[in-house]
Structure 1
Amino acid sequence: MADETTTDTPDVQDEDAPDEDAPQTPDDTASDSTSEAAAADTDADAPDENAPDEDAPDAAPQDKDDGDDAPEESSSEEETSHRVTIEELLKAGAHFGHLTSRWNPRMEKYIFMERNNIHIIDLMQSQVLLDEAAEAAKRFARRGKKILFAGTKKQAEDIVREHAEECGMPHMVDRWLGGTMTNFQTIRKSIRRMEEIERMDRDGTLDKLKKKEKLMRLREHEKLEETLGGIRDMANLPSAIYIVDVQREDIAVSEANNLGIPIIAMVDTNGNPKNIDYPIPVNDDALSSIELVTSTLTDAVQEGLQERRMKKEEKKKAAA
């Protein structure tokens, strides 16, 4: 095989900042009162978090859905099929925000109260906004569009990967490569390079190389697979992106905004909900909270895919 050892791997922008500690899980004594129950379960120490971006603009986010993706009127039946209960959100610790000293002022409208220097998220709003995000995910899936799942923080990696694969969506969980969407053609070249090395391995070409050169190729493939394996089948830019932590994945948010790609995202009290089309105000550090939100969105995607399959079958029957 001709020597093509020059890799097209893009410059990797290392997003591996230290992971934030997850807030403690609430007691299992959730009362019938929604937001008041959340306040009652807050006797826990909050983790030390990064300060918010004080220079972010104040303009309201614009809905970037094009005509085909514009939100539709959802029936009450659809909404209730995706809604999680307040008790489930409480049990998952979704109401725990960050230290009050680390908050982002733009999250003020989603905060119910503060207690012991910790912001408590209004779970009634979380519930409603999670419904809206789930309906959006369902619409995208029903129209055959791809949603890129992104969650590179340690506690989110396995959850995001598992659920993305469960519903057949692309994912990035190792680290976010700068230019993943804004420089997509270069990313595709790197994926083709990864696939080329795989072909060389299958047809025995690698075995004909010197030992050192073969090892270099294998290491190159391993690195590419870790970073890009989750999007290898994403031939085009995604129609939407789901982000676990907008504070950590700020580059992904910026790229999506620049390209007009709608964003569904978990936003904690230290995050910036600006320019997030479907913000879900919840604890984005606790495993249980990440699992609850991600699984809810995944269920919605699967429902949309099922409706799409049924519609196609109906058309085939009608044409027969």
Structure 2
Amino acid sequence: MVKLMQLFKAGLHLGHHKRQWNPKMASFLYGERNGIHILDLLQTAVYLENTCRFIGKILKRKKKVLLVGTKREAAELVATTAQRCNIRAPQGVHYVNHRWLGGMLTNWSTMKLCIAKLKQLDVRERTGDFLQLPKKEAAMCTKQRSRLQKYLGGVKNMDHLPHLVMIIGQPDELNAVYECRKLKIKNLTLLDSDCDPDLADFFIPSNDDSVEALDFILNTITLAVRREILMANDIPYNPFRNESTPV
């Protein structure tokens, strides 16, 4: 169970300056201090616990979850969270932590061709094929692979569209949000005081700018996913178990 003091220490209550707020977030605010909006942590705790159970159930059913967070504070945490979740739910969680490519979801057939090209280049590099090429051609292949890996590496093993997309930093990820809505893919969004709750199917009212706040939320979700999947397989849950081990 999430404790309010943990949320407070992680800074989940800190919103944006009142000049930047979205009036639609009024019902999720506790108040204002020194010109900064304060989010209601009671609501945050409830929504966070519901989210943990929800994502755990999705992954138990072998469905796909896509994490999207391209801003500097979120990028590394998004990749790490996906990798940690996949220890328990192999290939269940994918991520985009650099620029969202237009058509990532709505033009998935083209994206799959790009992913196939990335996998082909991976094989060629692994087998030493690049070493057999002229220097200039090898450099071009290496550059192409690096670029594809940067933008598509997190979805390289996503063989079909996700069941749920988790958005971190809604104002920066509106293209992803609109693609989800166009395809009727559910999105789960961290709602800071400058976000629009009408664009989210599910949400957690929370600070989405602080590394500490994002780390707390994503770590809480990761641990919940591990617990759900282990319990589904009748394996006793041990929060101190080394995550690199399979059980």
- Tell whether the structures are fold-level matches, with TM greater than 0.5: yes
Q: Distance in 1 between matches of 2:176 and 2:82?
A: 17
- 1:131 corresponds to: 49
2:197 and 2:217 map into 1 onto residues whose CA distance is 17
Residue in structure 1 matched with residue 243 of structure 2 by the alignment: none
2:229 to 293, 298, 305: 305
CA contact (8 A) 1:100 1:118 kept: yes
Secondary structure of the 1:274 match is helix
What does the per-residue CA deviation read over 1:170-192, in whole Å, with 9 as the maximum and x for residues that have no partner?
A: 11112211111111111111111
Of residues 176, 189, 212, the one that matches 2:113 is 189
Residue 204 of structure 1: how far off its partner (Å): 4.0
SS for the counterpart of 1:265 is strand
1:84 and 2:2 matched: yes
The 3-state SS of whatever aligns with 1:149 is strand
Offset at 1:255?
A: 1.1
Cα distance in 2 for partners of 1:118, 1:91 equals 17
Give the aligned partner of residue 208 of structure 1: 132
Query: Which residue does the alignment assign to 2:185?
Result: 261
Amino acid at match of 1:214: A
Match of 1:285 in 2: 209
TM superposition score normalised by structure 1: 0.68
Q: Is the 8 A contact 1:129 1:280 kept in 2?
A: yes
1:161 aligned to 2:85? Answer: no
- The corresponding residue for 2:12 is 94
| Letter of the 1:89 counterpart | L
TM-superposed CA distance for 1:137, in Å, is 0.7
* Letter of the structure 2 residue corresponding to residue 193 of structure 1: K
Corresponding residue number in structure 1 for 2:62: 144
1:112 pairs with 30, 35, 40, which one? 30
Contact 1:171 1:231 in 2 (8 A): yes
The answer to which structure has the higher helix fraction is: 2
Larger % of strand: which?
2
Q: Secondary structure at the match of 2:79?
A: helix
Percentage identity across paired residues of the two chains: 33
User: Which string of whole-angstrom CA distances, capped at 9 and with x for unpartnered residues, describes residues 89-113 of structure 1?
Assistant: 1101111111111101110100111
d(CA) in 2 for partners of 1:214, 1:277: 46
**Could you tell me how far 1:248 is from its partner in structure 2?**
1.1
Please tell me the residue identity of whatever aligns with 2:47: L
CA positional deviation for 1:300: 2.2
- Asked if 1:276 is matched to 2:200, the reply is yes
Give yes or no for contact 1:132–1:278 (8 Å, CA) kept in 2: no
- 1:242-257 map, 5 Å: 242-257=166-181
Unpaired segments ≥5 residues, structure 1: 1-82, 312-320
Counterpart secondary structure, 1:247: helix
Larger-gyration structure (1/2): 1
CA contact (8 A) 1:96 1:119 kept: yes
Query: Given the superposition, is the C-alpha separation of residues 258 and 310 from structure 1 closer, same or farther in structure 2, using an over 3 Å criterion?
Result: farther
Which residue of structure 2 aligns with residue 33 of structure 1?
none
Q: Is the 8 A contact 1:144 1:308 kept in 2?
A: no
In structure 1, the residue matched to 2:240 is: none
One-letter code of the match for 2:118?
A: M
What CA distance in whole angstroms lies between the structure 1 residues aligned with 2:74 and 2:157? 22
Give the paired residue count.
229
1:279 alignment partner, SS class: strand
Runs (4+) of structure 1 moved beyond 4 Å?
A: none
- Residue identity in the other structure for 1:294: L
1:169-184 correspondence runs (5 A): 169-184=93-108
Q: Give the C-alpha shift of residue 247 in structure 1.
A: 1.3
**1:212 Cα deviation after fit:** 0.9
* CA RMSD between the two structures: 1.5
Q: State the alpha-carbon separation in 2 of the partners of residues 308 and 261 from structure 1.
A: 26
